[in-house]
Amino acid sequence: MKLTREVKFGIWIASAVGIAVAAFFVGRELKPQEAAHYILDVSAPAYGADLDAIAAKSPGGFTGFGDIVPDGSRTVLAGRIVELTDEGITLEAPDGAQTTMRLGPEPKLARLESGGRDLLLPGASVLVKFGDSEDEAAAVLVISPP
């Protein structure tokens, strides 16, 4: 039996449709049953904290507290100064990213100095670096005394 051109084309089409149907069902089985999603846990301990004591807060969403801090913003950027001009500074972060910004007319400048336990008073605003565990402080930066 000799296959005609039309029969060969029909077999090819039937094969292509069979492969497409099989791929559809196999792909459907491999697809995750639930789409990826993110959960904002507003019962996290940080939401109960005094937000003015958190260093990097921003209603723009930099820290995730934008929905509960409607007034003003304060974003903290840390790095090493790599360039200083009359108009501003360029900072380099530990990952190598550089940020250039203008300095205000009279920027508030401060210097960190070593201190003792006498600086740790109730009401002081601090940043704490964890030690070997989350219940141990390796360093404390006093932002403002009480």
- Complete DSSP assignment for 85-129: -SSEEEEE-TTS-EEEEEPPSS----------GGG--TT-EEEEE
Q: Scanning the structure block, which residue is given the tokens 């974003």?
A: 75
For the segment 16-44, the average pLDDT, to the nearest whole number, is 79
**Whether this model's pTM surpasses 0.85:** no
Kindly report, residue by residue over 57-105, the tens digit of the pLDDT.
444 444 444 444 444 444 567 778 899 988 888 988 878 888 888 888 8
- Ordered by start, the domain boundaries in the chain are 79-109, 110-146
Q: CA–CA separation, 50 vs 69, rounded Å? A: 11
Residue 57, both tokens: 């807060």
Amino acid letter for position 59: P
